[in-house]
Amino acid sequence: MARVVTEHVRQIGKHFLSERMLTELSNIRTRHAMRCSFLDAFLECLLDKHEGRYGNRTYLALPLLELLLDDQHAEVSPDRLSTLLVSDAIRFELETAGGSPEPPSRGRPDPVTLRKRLRHAVRFVVADRSGPDGVDLEDGVDQLPRPPATDAGRWFDVTVQPVYVLHDEYFFIRLLQTHEMLFTAIATDIRTAIGALRDGQLEAGVERIDHATAVFERAAILFRIIATMRADQFSTFRQFTQGASAIQSEQYKRFEILCGLPPAPRLHSPAFTSVPAVRDEAENAAHDTITQAYLDLRGAGAFGQAEWTLLDAALGRLEARHQRWKSTHRSLAVRMLGDAHGSGYTDGVPYLTKCVKNRLFWQLSAQ
Ligand code: HEM
């Protein structure tokens, strides 16, 4: 059922589902979803606009992807899932270029754009070393990894529900989902690094911070892929994505609050009012951060100068990487959005310009 419905959604766009169909899907949810968490998550995402709950989380089908991550049999880490998502986007581009059912009116990319898109996407996939043998595309796209053939893995194919019918929205959704997975991995690294520092294991902490920086580097490739999106396609389908924005990305903000508490003006701005659960975590007295661990351990004279130098350098690398990420993101928004407002209801580029000035480790800059 989910596959047939998804096929239909891709034919007309989620924004344009008929009232009759939405009512039928609501009834199915009421009758059957209790019995299957995947079906429940699938319908939660599909009915978001109909039920007035539309947002980044449901646009990107994150409830379904999270169930896949949690599935014991599938054994898929966020890193690995990011590779599966980009691999799927590559397959989609190749299949449609080869004359799949998608009609030409959807605006396929020209060969030069397609080649560029695929080149960066393949680079992203090849950079994965989390699979059993890494990924080697020398032997062709058959080598692209696929989701596991488990019950959970079978739901992977229905995690793209475009709001409209233009070609580029498919890979746009896949890349934003990938972003969520990478930031899930980065947040875990930072959480582990805090634990290591608190345990007095500075080198282990530095290793995890450097791993987060490396994942960030991989995340930067996403912008090169997304830069091949046609601005006219983007401005057309974004008419129907108002209310869903990556400003609601919980994992990105979670990463930020694990590095250090943001200054009060940012914590009370749309950056955090858009992610109330993460803001609550930040305001919880038990919440710990790299910054707090650093200040406590420095005060207690826990490490020697050589060790502090190591840690300072690792934090500097992470900060620099984040700064580069923000600048590239802003440049992309200038190109794709111009003067328009963001779909998360900020003033768009001016909001992102202010974000570039923020620092993760602002409380440590005087150390
Ligand atoms: C066409 C491409 C893109 C445009 C035009 C764009 C534009 C924007 C805008 C205007 C905002 C501010 C919030 C809002 O009002 O929506 C924003 C926030 C954000 N975007 Fe993008 N974005 C694009 C692609 C991406 C991609 C590919 C990613 C991730 C890989 C991403 C991640 C984020 C994040 C994490 C935020 C929150 C920033 C913060 O609150 O500090 N964006 N984006």
What's the CATH code of the domain at 238?
1.20.58.480
Residues 154 and 218 in one domain: no
Statement to judge: residues 328 and 259 lie in one domain = yes
Question: What is the domain extent for residue 118?
Answer: 2-172
Last residue of a domain, one of 140, 172, 204: 172
* Ligand 1 centroid distance, CA of 308 (Å): 34
Ligand 1 in contact with 272 (CB < 6 A)? no
The pLDDT tens digits of the residues spanning 44-95 come to 999 999 999 999 999 999 999 999 999 888 789 999 999 999 999 999 999 8
Same domain, 157 and 185: no
How many whole angstroms from 343 Cα to the centroid of ligand 1? Answer: 9
Q: Residue 332 C-alpha to ligand 1 middle, in angstroms? A: 9
Atom of ligand 1 nearest to the CA of 274: 40
Residue from 245, 257, 330, 359 to probe ligand 1 pocket by mutation (most atoms less than 8 Å from CB): 245
CB distance 222 to ligand 1 below 6 Å: yes
Contacts of 73 (CB under 8 A, 6+ apart): 148, 150, 151, 152
HSE-CB at 141 with a 13 A cutoff on CA atoms is 14
Residues 210 and 340 in one domain: yes
Other beta carbons within 10 angstroms of residue 154's beta carbon come to: 15
Tokens of 173: 């959704």
**Residue nearest ligand 1's atom 28 by CA:** 176
Residues 205 and 352 in one domain: yes
| Rounded Cα gap, residues 42 and 33, in angstroms | 9
Q: Are residues 96 and 131 in the same domain?
A: yes
The atom number, within ligand 1, closest to the CA of 335 reads: 5
Q: Which atom of ligand 1 is nearest to the CA of 226?
A: 27
Mutate to test the pocket of ligand 1, among 237, 275, 334, 352 (most ligand atoms within 8 A of CB): 352
Q: What is the pLDDT of residue 139?
A: 55
Looking at the fold, whether 115 and 187 belong to one and the same domain comes out as no
| 249 ligand 1 Cβ < 6 A | yes
Q: Which of 143, 172, 201 is the last residue of a domain?
A: 172
Q: What distance in angstroms lies between residue 247's CA and the mean position of ligand 1's atoms? A: 6
For the entire predicted model, the pTM comes to: 0.94
User: pLDDT tens digits for the chain (367 residues)?
Assistant: 889 999 999 999 999 999 999 999 999 988 886 788 999 999 999 999 999 999 999 999 999 999 999 988 878 999 999 999 999 999 999 988 877 666 767 888 999 999 999 999 999 998 876 554 455 555 567 788 999 988 888 999 999 999 999 999 999 999 999 999 999 999 999 999 999 999 999 999 999 999 999 999 999 999 999 999 999 999 999 999 999 999 999 999 999 999 999 999 999 999 999 999 999 999 999 999 999 999 999 989 889 999 999 999 999 999 999 999 999 999 999 999 999 999 888 999 999 999 999 999 999 975 5
Do 218 and 131 lie in one domain? The reply is no
Q: What is the pLDDT of residue 132?
A: 45
Any atom of ligand 1 within 6 Å of the Cβ of 343:
yes
Same domain, 235 and 300: yes
Of 172, 190, 210, the domain-final residue: 172
Domain count, the chain: 2
Nearest to 186 by CA among 217, 163, 162: 217
- Ligand 1 atom 43: residue of nearest CA: 246
- Based on the domain organization, do 83 and 203 belong to the same domain? no
Q: Looking at the structure, do residues 11 and 134 belong to the same domain, yes or no?
A: yes
Question: What pLDDT shows up at residue 283?
Answer: 95
CA-nearest residue for atom 22, ligand 1, is 333
Do 269 and 242 share a structural domain?
Answer: yes
